[in-house]
Structure 1
Amino acid sequence: MLLPYSGGVDALLLLVIALIVDACIGDSAWLRRFMPGPADLVARAVALYDRRLNRIDRSDGVRRARGSLVTLLLLVLGGLVGFCLSVLVRHIPAGGFVELLILARCLTLRLPWGAMGRTVVAVEGRDVEAARQAVGPLTDRQLWSLDDHGTLRAAVEGAARALTHGVVAPALFYTLFGLAGLLAWAAMDGTVRVIGHDTPRHAHFGALARRLSSLLGLPAALIAALVILLSASFVPRASAIKGLRDVKAAKGHPMGADALPIAAFAGVLDLSVAGPRREGDRVVKEPWLGSGRARATPRDLRAAMALYAIAALIAAGLVVLSGLAAAY
């Protein structure tokens, strides 16, 4: 790791344990209620700042400056809190357990899996409203506008994004920078969830959040795309070659770094996701990601669930290999 108080190989062992803990109980309602993740807490704070500071009667420049200040403040604060905790956990008896809890709550491995499972069951049961509600944790789309195919595509997009933001990026920042990097990323992720959408309201207030998220998330997005392509060999009818071709075609997409793992997911499964769509009274003219079918089926989402699980296992394997390399 690149910062002091990082723990070395012991920290990588904690990371593997945290992944296992989250895989077992990460989507429990009681856990989210009594111990919300750092990114969720930041998102609540950003929503408050958004209501108070992002006023439509202010000029675009003022809104951009305010949003940039909020973004930088929370990013720096997250890093400072993480560094202080790194020092603290080295000097208290149960420090390792505290660090494990923080790490586990910064990972979101189980939640996307559960959301995908509930979505595919609802679609197969022809319950459109239940499917829309099930996919809600995976997307920021207006749920009422989604048909069955749109719901399934949103789930695939959300799975790829969750793998990057909730598994690979936290693991990468923790491996490199310890709790300081982990909580800085959690602050960035929580901020971009709320104000990172390229909508009229957040076009200026969230401009820096979008740019920083894409920049900081690029290494994790590349790693996520790689593990997705590697996972294709273990999923029937999946094609790593198509996935690689679609990843190359995703360069310059408005989604930024997130486009790479999403394109990998879509290409491997022979799907097209994102694309132009109507959200309320606004038409979003966004290029497609992937060159396959837009009419996603429940079978595609089940394949996406397998791809997600295998990609997460490969990512965990990379962590273990990193620990062994560091030890020897």
Structure 2
Amino acid sequence: MDWNCQQSNYKGDMIAFAEIIILAIPLTIATRAIILAVALAADAIIGEPDILWRHLPHPVVIFGRMIKTISASWHSSHITGYRRRIRGLAAIILLVLIAILGGSGLAALAKVIGDMTDIGAWPVIITEAILVTILLAGRSLDQHVRDVAHALNSASRQDDLTAARQAVSMIVGRNPEQLDAPAICRASIETTAENLSDGVVAPALYYLLLGLPGIIGYKMINTADSMIGYKSARWLAFGWAAARLDDVANLLPARITGWLIVIAALLPQPAQAARAFRIMWRDAGLHRSPNAGWPEAAMAGALNIVLAGPRKYGARMSTDVPLNRKGRIAASADIFSALNYLWRVTAIIIISLLAIGFWPYFWPYL
């Protein structure tokens, strides 16, 4: 074989490898819709067995270690704020690229295994179903928020809120020692609404549209925001890019979540849906976050309670505007109602995904 032929074969192999990476999502949207519906149902029913993560690191834990390592190397208080911001931008770009390439590589590897073993797309389908189930957070959110409600209901005295404060500290960033019972209820419901968007709707949407690279890239962005996207003196400059990218990534999912809560409110009685829509449309823009106000305001309207308002983060007191100002004070029963909306919205998504997934099969007969 002469040199030109060898060079041609080498180029052909490189092109073939590039095609595997670029086309690492061989599944159609219809197939991904079915996979996603199964993953959402599996997360709702099974969740994530604790025994699994005693022996293996959770993907989000791996993301956290990567973020921590890069932040420790690139972040310095001895450089100007502008340079810290540039380094933070470079860090989040690198992290997201690694996540996207990792997702593409996993999908490509599963496809290669399927091609080599003549079992078609099944390795891809199984790999993606498992990973998507792991990266959804509906059951985990339910368990943590439900713990708060049970702690409130189990308190021997109204002022004995130690267990409830400990439970709520696991899901919010504010100082739990300053929270009374209504504030603990508000914090739990706000977390349910916001994480319904961040932990269920957003990853589901990015997987449906972009496959494994989409959902893994989104989870990296969301994890980085939760670790370095603070407005504290330490992270304000370095975490600026991560926080802004998270805002952009959640623009559409947050609004979809708000609308899904409104739709879910139709089931008990249309009046609740009308109120949820009215409060969402009026108050979503009052929230300090460009995104969290949509699901939180919709939830406040659906339950007819006051959410948000001033709260304390460490030594800093926020001046947040209340959502649904004329609503009633939240109680522990409202936490269970908010979780009920979490699962109603999940059910709506699953039904919609199954319709998308099976539509191509039924369309010829309609």
User: Do both proteins adopt the same fold according to a TM-score greater than 0.5, normalized to the shorter chain?
Assistant: yes
Match of 2:294? 260
Deviation at 1:20, TM superposition (A): 1.9
Unmatched tracts of structure 2, length 5 or more:
1-21, 115-122
Deviation at 1:119, TM superposition (A): 1.1
Q: CA RMSD in A?
A: 2.3
Deviation at 1:89, TM superposition (A): 1.2
Contact 2:185 2:335 in 1 (8 A): yes
Deviation at 1:252, TM superposition (A): 5.8
1:113-132 residue pairs with structure 2 within 5 A? 113-126=142-155, 128-132=161-165
Deviation at 1:123, TM superposition (A): 0.4
Deviation at 1:122, TM superposition (A): 0.6
Q: Percent identity, please.
A: 28
Compared CA separation, residues 305 and 238, structure 1 to 2 (3 A)? farther
What is the CA–CA distance in structure 2 between the aligned matches of 1:121 and 1:55, rounded to whole Å?
Answer: 43
Deviation at 1:318, TM superposition (A): 1.7
What do the CA deviations read for 1:216-269 (whole angstroms, capped 9, x no partner)?
Answer: 111111111111111112347972222212222212632111221111111211
Match of 1:97? 126
What is the CA–CA distance in structure 2 between the aligned matches of 1:213 and 1:295, rounded to whole Å?
Answer: 31
Match of 1:5? 25
Deviation at 1:45, TM superposition (A): 2.4
Deviation at 1:11, TM superposition (A): 2.4
Deviation at 1:107, TM superposition (A): 0.6
Match of 1:74? 95
Deviation at 1:285, TM superposition (A): 1.8
Compared CA separation, residues 252 and 204, structure 1 to 2 (3 A)? farther
Contact 1:54 1:67 in 2 (8 A): yes
Contact 1:149 1:294 in 2 (8 A): no
Question: Residue type matched to 2:34 in 1?
Answer: L
Deviation at 1:326, TM superposition (A): 4.6
Compared CA separation, residues 41 and 187, structure 1 to 2 (3 A)? same
User: Which structure has the larger Rg?
Assistant: 2
- What SS does the aligned partner of 2:292 have? helix
Compared CA separation, residues 19 and 36, structure 1 to 2 (3 A)? farther
- Which among 25, 44, 57 is matched to residue 23 of structure 1? 44
What is the CA–CA distance in structure 2 between the aligned matches of 1:81 and 1:214, rounded to whole Å?
Answer: 23
- 1:162 to 2:229 alignment: no
Deviation at 1:40, TM superposition (A): 3.3
- Which among 308, 311, 315 is matched to residue 345 of structure 2? 311
- Which among 52, 77, 100 is matched to residue 56 of structure 1? 77
- Which among 129, 135, 140 is matched to residue 106 of structure 1? 135
Compared CA separation, residues 235 and 288, structure 1 to 2 (3 A)? same
What is the CA–CA distance in structure 1 between the aligned matches of 2:300 and 2:237, rounded to whole Å?
Answer: 30
1:120-159 residue pairs with structure 2 within 5 A? 120-126=149-155, 128-159=161-192
What is the CA–CA distance in structure 2 between the aligned matches of 1:303 and 1:184, rounded to whole Å?
Answer: 32
Range with greater deviation from structure 2 (235-244 or 152-161): 235-244
What is the CA–CA distance in structure 2 between the aligned matches of 1:182 and 1:6, rounded to whole Å?
Answer: 16
In the superposition, the TM-score normalised over structure 1's length comes to: 0.91
1:268-287 residue pairs with structure 2 within 5 A? 268-287=302-321
What is the CA–CA distance in structure 1 between the aligned matches of 2:231 and 2:175, rounded to whole Å?
Answer: 14
Alignment coverage as a number of residue pairs: 327
Question: Residue type matched to 1:166 in 2?
Answer: G
Deviation at 1:164, TM superposition (A): 0.8
Match of 2:109? 88
Range with greater deviation from structure 2 (21-30 or 117-126): 21-30
Contact 1:238 1:269 in 2 (8 A): no
What is the CA–CA distance in structure 1 between the aligned matches of 2:138 and 2:150, rounded to whole Å?
Answer: 20
In the superposition, the TM-score normalised over structure 2's length comes to: 0.82
